[in-house]
Amino acid sequence: MLRGKRVLIIAGILLILLGTVWASQGAGMLGSGSFMDNNSTYIYLGGAVAIVGVLLLAFGVIPRQGKQMAPTK
């Protein structure tokens, strides 16, 4: 696996997790007593971050169509 793809996959997973935590806190589901609890701003920000994470993960997992390696002799 190429290093760039590995970075995209790891970054995507981390952003999905971060976005999920932010959205859950914004919805008041984690109840940590933070300033983010029951704040709809963090629901939207968390959702946006999670979507960016899904896109990065997709770019890291889905193979490219253009370039193909030449067979070695």
Angle at 67 between CA 2 and CA 4, to 5 degrees: 20
Spell out the per-residue pLDDT of the chain, length 73, in tens: 578 899 999 999 999 999 999 999 999 888 778 888 888 999 999 999 999 999 999 999 988 776 666 666 6
Taking the C-alpha atoms of residue 42 and residue 24, their distance in angstroms, rounded to an integer, is: 8
Taking the C-alpha atoms of residue 54 and residue 36, their distance in angstroms, rounded to an integer, is: 23
Q: Which of 48, 62, 45, 46 is nearest to 9 (CA)?
A: 62
